[in-house]
Amino acid sequence: MSTLHIITSGCADSVCLDGHSLNEHSLNEHSLNERGIRCDSVEEIENPDSFSQSVEQSDAEWFLLTETMTDARQIPSPEFLKAIQEKGAAAWFAKSSDSFDDFTVRTLGGTMASLWLPLWKAGSILAPSQAFRSALEKSRSTYELLARLNWDESTGEVSQEIDWENCSIDLPVLAPTKQRTELEQVLRPIRNLEELLPDSYDRLSPDFTALKAGLYQWYDALEESHRCSQQAQHQGRHLGADYWHAIMHRREPDYSNSKYWFRHVGTSPVFDQLLRYAQTISEEFASIETWNPFAFVDYCSRCNPGTRQEIIARRIQAVEMVLLMRQTMLDAQR
């Protein structure tokens, strides 16, 4: 059961428990009570309406959103908590280091990753109460709430090898037949992406439209993604919309049309990184010297559901989407 834990007493130092980790050995309700820190829990956090009243009535200094109390990674020090409190920033801690969830958050940052992943299920979100309340006032879904938070992006490096055994979500399939059910919860923030992202993004740029194409693509909303890609086709710093267009047709599946758009893309900045991750995912890609998107289209076309090859292709595709979203984010900056 997803739960909002309200830490209702204690300062940053005491929440950190003298530098110990937020894990099963240090942060649970028993240990909190021993240290004089009260923790109330509110279930059903998928919709902010279900816990907004509890937040309003609470005198908490911190809010911890998580599936359980025992899945957070180590908080480095009381100084770290003091720093994010001064910045009014939220911090995210993965259930498992080097997991795909961790890779996604560290690559995209909390704002964009929160529009793709249910971060409260994939890990733990710790936020100062003032920042949490401010974001909650403007939000209609938990995805939107997290996207509105100011995220601390200063901790940890992106893993060069992903631990796929600890992935908390189902990766996008190769050829979806319908959009994911979660789409309705994130449809509004995607449509209103302009009000969620900082001023550093050029909202009039074709790459900003390509961001929406990528967000929709993750949720298997191929028609919406296609429409955004068409609006920005042949434009942008690295033709991000055309790349999302190519992915959409590969998943449709319309393999020849996908190759048509990959020819428009040419060489993408994500290819080198994508190849390195593909080589860690499967030995089948170990001898490849350069990434070939046309060969990957052919590889996907030969994958049967439930096979080892399909698992490999879905993992590579998931990494491809994360890396392309990161590049699209960079290209959409002013």
- Span 161-171, average pLDDT: 87
Lowest mean pLDDT, pick from 61-70, 182-191, 276-285: 61-70
What angle do helix axes 100-108 and 308-331 make, rounded to 10 degrees? 10
- Span 296-318, average pLDDT: 97
How far is residue 222 from each of residues 8, 63, 179, measured CA to CA in Å? Answer: 44, 36, 7
List, for residues 115-161, the tens digit of each pLDDT value. Answer: 998 888 888 888 888 999 999 998 888 889 999 999 998 756 788 89
Distance CA 249, CA 230 (A): 12
Distance CA 121, CA 224 (A): 26
Nearest-10 Cα torsion for 153, 156, 157, 162: -110
Distance CA 19, CA 73 (A): 12
- Span 196-210, average pLDDT: 96
Specify the higher pLDDT residue, 62 or 164: 164
Q: Per the structure block, which two tokens stand in for 57?
A: 């009535």
Residues 6+ apart with CB under 8 A from 256: none
Q: How confident is the model at residue 204 (pLDDT cuts 50, 70, 90)?
A: very high
pLDDT value of residue 239:
98
DSSP string, 216-258: HHHTT-HHHHHHHHHHTTT-SSS-HHHHHHHHHHHHTT-HHHH
Residues 6+ apart with CB under 8 A from 72: 21, 22, 23, 27, 64, 66, 93, 95, 123, 124, 126
pLDDT value of residue 6:
59
Which residue's structure tokens are 């055309």?
242
Residues 6+ apart with CB under 8 A from 297: 250, 255, 258, 259, 262
Lowest mean pLDDT, pick from 56-65, 228-237, 323-332: 56-65
Lowest mean pLDDT, pick from 27-31, 87-91, 118-122: 27-31
How far is residue 265 from each of residues 166, 261, 280, measured CA to CA in Å? Answer: 33, 6, 25
Dihedral class, residue 287 (left if φ above 0, else alpha if ψ from -120 to 50, else beta)? alpha
pLDDT value of residue 55:
80
- Span 49-61, average pLDDT: 75
Instruction: Answer yes or no: is pLDDT of 267 > 70.
Output: yes
How far is residue 307 from each of residues 255, 302, 310, measured CA to CA in Å? Answer: 20, 10, 5
Q: Per the structure block, which two tokens stand in for 124?
A: 């733990």
pLDDT value of residue 21:
37
Would the pTM of this model clear 0.75, i.e. be above it?
yes
- Supply the mean pLDDT for the chain: 84
Q: How confident is the model at residue 38 (pLDDT cuts 50, 70, 90)?
A: low
Lowest mean pLDDT, pick from 167-176, 247-256, 295-304: 167-176
Three-class SS of residue 41? Answer: strand
- Span 46-64, average pLDDT: 75
Specify the higher pLDDT residue, 183 or 86: 86
CB 81 within 8 A of CB 151: no
List, for residues 6-24, the tens digit of each pLDDT value. Answer: 554 444 333 433 333 333 3
Domain boundaries, the chain: 3-153, 170-331
Specify the higher pLDDT residue, 157 or 99: 99
How far is residue 37 from each of residues 69, 77, 286, 334, measured CA to CA in Å? Answer: 14, 18, 52, 45
CB 15 within 8 A of CB 82: no
pLDDT value of residue 83:
85
